[in-house]
A and B are shown apart, each in its own frame.
Chain A
Amino acid sequence: MRSHRATLRIASIAGLAAALAAGCGNKGVEKGTDTKSGTRTVVVFAAASLTESFTALGRTFEASHPGVKVKFNFGGSSALAQQIDQGAPADVFAAASPATMKQVTDAGGASAPRVFARNRLEIAVPKGASGKVTSLRDLANPKTKVVLCAPQVPCGAAALKALKAAGLTVRPVSQEQDVKAALTKVRLNEADAALVYRTDVKAAAGQVRGIDFPEAAQAINDYPIAALTKAPQPGLAGEFVQSVLSPQGQATLQQAGFEKP
């Protein structure tokens, strides 16, 4: 029992570390082309919730485009949007909400974004949870420690929408800075429940349990993607967007828990 718990804990740290890298590590992005070696690089800014699926997509893209490298910068959508507005050398932007994409299109950074995936909320509970939480209504129980995303980030806005649709008032113990942080609190069993995306529950690979709830339909999140107007590699940018929209790309996304647009 004890050793089982320890393994869980270590796995949780590893997961958390990954989440941190995704959430806070908006590392500097390299230049589009490395002319010396002849390889070309396409730089994709993508929402943190796309970490797993886009990493897989990137590998497929590299396999079908010899000499091309895909570099990702995963992070909070609004932070990414700001970086793009500030002139970050990115080719593609995949956002977790239309609002953040609008930030970029309004500034003329991109045009004609297309929705490539939709994400739905689920209630995440610790794997060994006693069954205290079975529906959205249970989140309103003051004895239940609920973690939501902060209203400033897309998953938080979606959660508020869903709760409003259900007519529920939930007092969270914390409003986390991103969805991975919210999930981590459940993984570590510090919180009894969190509202996160279904894709995040899937990515946590059995370390948390997801509970579907009907009101989630009221807060479906659209994920738009666009090649950026100032892309250093405009050709590759368009091709990457196409690959995401292709049947093969869609299959990968659905495997990760996304829904068809």
Chain B
Amino acid sequence: MLVLPALIGLAFLVLPLLGLLVRAPWSTLGTRLARPEILDALRLSLLSATLATLLCLLLGVPLAWVLARIDFPGRRLVRALVTVPLVLPPVVGGVALLLALGRNGLVGHWLDRWFGLTLPFTTAGVVLAEAFVALPFLVISVEGAVRAADLRYEDAAATLGASRWTTFRRVTLPLIAPGVGAGAVLCWARALGEFGATITFAGNLPGRTQTMPLAVYLALENDPQAAIVLSLVLLAVSVVVLAGLRGRWVS
């Protein structure tokens, strides 16, 4: 009873990828791949996704810990807020970021006035946009790991003289490491594929803010073959990274 829908489901996921592979301009692949704008976009994508993941780790792990461990009024509301970027269309996320961190945004206004710092149209803006949409993946994964971790290990650490920070760093963090790793992988993959928030908040400039998904979208305008090549590269990178890390973290 379940096998047929399962097979259809699988086909549904695999067929589009197959389409990419079949229609790819294999004969000109080499020359297309070596073009500097593709390498630029790839380099920028990898860099910004990695930086976004680091940012998410830095902010998301403490956030997840607080959500899992500290019972404060409004915790349910905060948890709901954290997951908003999951359901929010990324483009709307980009607009929201502009209104908050843009040159005239709530906070961006002061960043500009005090530090001369503007985030839209910069690589930092790309990282922020990607982190915005990817953070929930990390927080959800890590919060689950923190909840599942045995609190009594922290008791044991305390009786051995460990401060709360030492306990977190040397006991809790290693205990939740698999959850953090899985979250970071998901987070990175989401950041790598980010399109809507990035193009809305950071714009599109080759070498600076044009990541692979943006390059794919614009290539579709006048050079679909190039778009297919770019998509293949993105696909290959994701598959390699996910396959490489999945076995290690999600087992």
Contact = CB atoms under 8 A, between A and B. Distances in A.
Contact of A153 (B103, B121, B199, B221): B221
Contacts of A79: 220-221
B218 A174 contact: no
A256 to B, nearest CB: 24
B98 A152 contact: no
Contacts of A5: 104
Contacts of A13: 95, 99
Contact of B95 (A16, A76, A176): A16
B205 A190 contact: no
Contact of A181 (B103, B199, B210, B222): B199
Interface string A5-27: 10001000100100010001000
A123 interface: no
Nearest to B220: A79
A5 B104 CA distance: 10
Interface in B60-115: 91, 95, 98-99, 102-104
A189 B220 contact: no
B218 A177 contact: yes
Binding site of A, secondary structure by majority: helix, strand, loop or mixed?
mixed
Contact of A175 (B200, B205, B220, B223): B205
A173 B224 CA distance: 25
A189 B99 CA distance: 10
Interface string B105-132: 0000000000000001100000000000
Nearest to A145: B121
Nearest to A172: B205
Contacts of B204: 150, 174-177
B121 A174 contact: yes
Nearest to A20: B91
Nearest to B206: A175
Contacts, number: 71
Interface string B199-226: 1101111100110001001111111100
Given A173-B121, A177-B199, A9 B218 contact: no
Interface residues of A, number: 27
A188 B210 CA distance: 21
B217 A177 contact: yes
Given A152-B219, A175-B205, A185-B203, A190 B120 contact: yes
B221 A9 contact: no
Given A79-B221, A153-B221, A147 B203 contact: yes
A172 B209 CA distance: 12
Interface in A148-179: 150, 152-153, 172-177
Nearest to B99: A9
Contacts of A172: 205
A152 B203 contact: no
Contacts of B121: 145, 173-174, 190-191
Contacts of B224: 82
Contacts of A20: 91
Interface in A68-113: 76, 78-79, 82
Nearest to B122: A173
Contact of B205 (A78, A173, A189): A173
A191 B121 CA distance: 9
B129 to A, nearest CB: 13
8 contacts: A24-B91, A82-B220, A145-B121, A150-B204, A150-B221, A174-B121, A175-B205, A185-B203
